[in-house]
């Protein structure tokens, strides 16, 4: 059964970090969470704006660069540049303090997804998985339409598609697929029945086609399309230009969520402990003592 759109949300640009601009998808008041996802931001940043030193605990951040690049540095000495097409999957676990600043003088654009961790793994040791653009599996294929064969491509950031497996290992089962479609192209992508799923449109005009034409939904850029029950989604590029969108799906964790900014736990008591640990630089935040990123010096 094809999934239909059950909610459509426009991501309005807002200020975030230090002078950065983001379009928030998951995490807006209209779409607070979609288990296991906590937030998705489409960010745009130019120097001197950025995301200076800040902490995380209890979840994972997934940074995917669409244009330019981001300099990353954390309080354990991990640093580098995430450039166009690259991916960083950071498991914050018990605690990370880091900075994310623009790597070029021009506009730097990307997506950052926050994925929750189950209670049993919220206080694991921090870890990184980083893939260069050339290391992310991709496929190009013909997208069928009434006019014939049209080109489309997909990049497999996480999960499995068309028999290809992403090298990224996820604590919570997740699909993260990046699609580009030429005008008129159509795709059908399988999605596990029990998973929550949504699309975020970066450019172009697409249509989500359900079993009933009256329930079809068209969408332009900067909209989030939450999908209902089903085992697949059908998407057609309805516009005159190339369409670009991501399809993200995940197995729900089904646990209580308590959140205070960059701390995500299961109870308010655990949030209070996280704040205390960060302020006292203990229980995972020891390296924060006296540390400042190069961007803050």
For residue 122, the domain's CATH number is: 2.60.120.10
- Considering the domain architecture, whether residues 163 and 62 belong to the same structural domain is answered as no
Alpha helices in the chain (DSSP H): 268-280
Between residues 286 and 164, which one has the greater pLDDT? 286
- Considering the domain architecture, whether residues 71 and 119 belong to the same structural domain is answered as yes
- pTM of this structure: 0.94
Cα-based torsion angle of the residue sequence 261, 263, 264, 268 in order, rounded to the nearest 10 degrees: -90
- Considering the domain architecture, whether residues 74 and 159 belong to the same structural domain is answered as no
The DSSP bridge partners found for residue 14 are: 22
In a domain, 62, yes or no: yes
CB 259 within 8 A of CB 271: yes
In a domain, 195, yes or no: yes
- Considering the domain architecture, whether residues 127 and 272 belong to the same structural domain is answered as yes
Cα(289)–Cα(58) distance, integer angstroms: 20
pLDDT above 70 as % of the chain:
95
In a domain, 292, yes or no: no
Question: Domain residues for 117?
Answer: 11-135+255-287
Mean pLDDT in residue range 88-107: 97
pLDDT tens digits for range 248-292? 999 999 999 999 999 999 999 999 999 999 999 999 999 999 999
Number of independent structural domains in the chain: 2
- pLDDT reported for residue 145: 46
Q: Are strands 160-161 and 223-227 parallel, antiparallel or unpaired?
A: unpaired
- Considering the domain architecture, whether residues 154 and 87 belong to the same structural domain is answered as no
- Considering the domain architecture, whether residues 246 and 261 belong to the same structural domain is answered as no
- Considering the domain architecture, whether residues 279 and 231 belong to the same structural domain is answered as no
Q: In 3-state terms, what secondary structure has residue 279? A: helix
Cα(224)–Cα(180) distance, integer angstroms: 16
On average, the pLDDT of the chain sits at: 93
Q: What is the DSSP string of 70-93?
A: EEEEETTS-EEEEETT-EEEEE-T
- Considering the domain architecture, whether residues 180 and 244 belong to the same structural domain is answered as yes
In a domain, 184, yes or no: yes
- Considering the domain architecture, whether residues 175 and 28 belong to the same structural domain is answered as no
In a domain, 297, yes or no: no
- Considering the domain architecture, whether residues 235 and 282 belong to the same structural domain is answered as no
């Amino acid at each position: 059964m094809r999934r239909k759109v059950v909610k459509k949300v426009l991501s309005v640009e807002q200020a975030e970090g230090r002078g950065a601009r983001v379009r928030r998808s998951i995490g807006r008041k209209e779409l607070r969470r979609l288990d296991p996802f906590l937030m998705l931001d489409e960010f745009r940043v130019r120097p001197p704006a950025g995301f200076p030193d800040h902490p995380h605990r209890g979840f994972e951040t997934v940074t995917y660069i669409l244009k330019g690049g981001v300099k990353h540095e954390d309080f354990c000495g991990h640093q580098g540049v995430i450039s166009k097409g690259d991916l960083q999957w950071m498991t914050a676990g018990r605690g990370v303090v880091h900075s994310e600043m623009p790597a070029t003088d021009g506009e730097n654009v990307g997506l950052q997804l926050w994925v929750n961790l189950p209670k049993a793994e919220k206080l694991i040791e921090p870890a990184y998985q980083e893939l260069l653009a050339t290391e992310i599996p991709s496929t190009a294929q013909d997208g069928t339409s009434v006019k014939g064969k049209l080109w489309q491509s997909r990049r497999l950031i996480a999960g499995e598609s068309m028999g290809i497996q992403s090298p990224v290992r996820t604590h919570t089962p997740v699909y993260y697929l990046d699609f580009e479609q030429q005008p008129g192209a159509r795709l059908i992508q399988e999605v596990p029945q029990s998973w929550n799923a949504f699309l975020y449109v970066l450019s172009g005009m697409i249509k989500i086609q359900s079993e009933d034409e009256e329930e079809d939904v068209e969408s332009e850029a900067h909209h989030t399309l939450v999908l209902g029950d089903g085992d697949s989604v059908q998407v057609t590029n309805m516009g005159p230009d190339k369409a670009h969108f991501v399809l993200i799906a995940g197995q729900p964790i089904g646990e209580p969520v308590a959140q205070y900014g960059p701390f995500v736990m299961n109870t308010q008591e655990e949030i209070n402990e996280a704040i205390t640990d960060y302020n006292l630089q203990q229980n995972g935040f020891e390296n924060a003592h006296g540390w400042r990123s190069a961007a803050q010096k």
